[in-house]
Structure 1
């Protein structure tokens, strides 16, 4: 990420402030970032095992995300060649657990329309 002129804060897409929360959300919002962290939450995985766990994500994109997550301090390459979470990465994943539990309750809630279910392909929610 580029630095703002005269500032110690990194420039964050969509933000003039470079606030840490904006930088974190921008990183986590990139394709496959959250999935990689989620798949590594229990045990380290090799690059190939991680790709399989991520539904055969493009190796190029997967490696780019792993590089970004390593630079951010969330993922590390272990001695055995597998990728695992750092202490900071494990802490981040722990912050996801309340959201995960909420998502599980939401998925089984009786309101499928709120989850986008029951609409035809390309049908706007307002047309129902």
Structure 2
């Protein structure tokens, strides 16, 4: 059976059980964010369409992420393919400002090629 990080339980990187840590554990899994982003911007998508849009994702990894994200109630299967749930859409909307912050943060960091640290 597929397991997902669960608030209130120890997760990868944290024994606190804090809900944010469970979310970070889930979203930190390979391709989890890519699947969420792709569905939010291109929904609905069949398995094959989702695989094509994610380009380098293997069918096994995509299948695993779909199972986990469905268990987490962030995506669901519709008659036309996979779609974001209302929770998944809300999460996406919350992550957009974080993405904008990350772009500004990246501008502040020294260029790793320049040798400056």
Same fold (TM over 0.5): yes
Structure scoring higher RCO (CA < 8 A, sep ≥ 6) equals 2
* TM category, shorter: 0.7 to 0.9
Structure 1 residue aligned with 2:32? 33
Cα offset for 1:19? 1.1
Structure 1 residue aligned with 2:50? 50
C-alpha spacing 1:112/1:44, structure 2 compared with 1 (3 Å): farther
Secondary structure, aligned partner of 1:84: strand
Give the TM-score normalised by structure 1.
0.74
Structure 1 residue aligned with 2:90? 91
Aligned residues: 113
C-alpha spacing 1:9/1:111, structure 2 compared with 1 (3 Å): closer
Identify unmatched segments of 5+ residues in structure 2.
none
Give the TM-score normalised by structure 2.
0.81
Q: CA RMSD in A?
A: 2.7
Please say which structure displays the higher CA radius of gyration.
1
State the 4+ residue runs in structure 1 displaced beyond 6 angstroms: none
Secondary structure, aligned partner of 2:40: coil
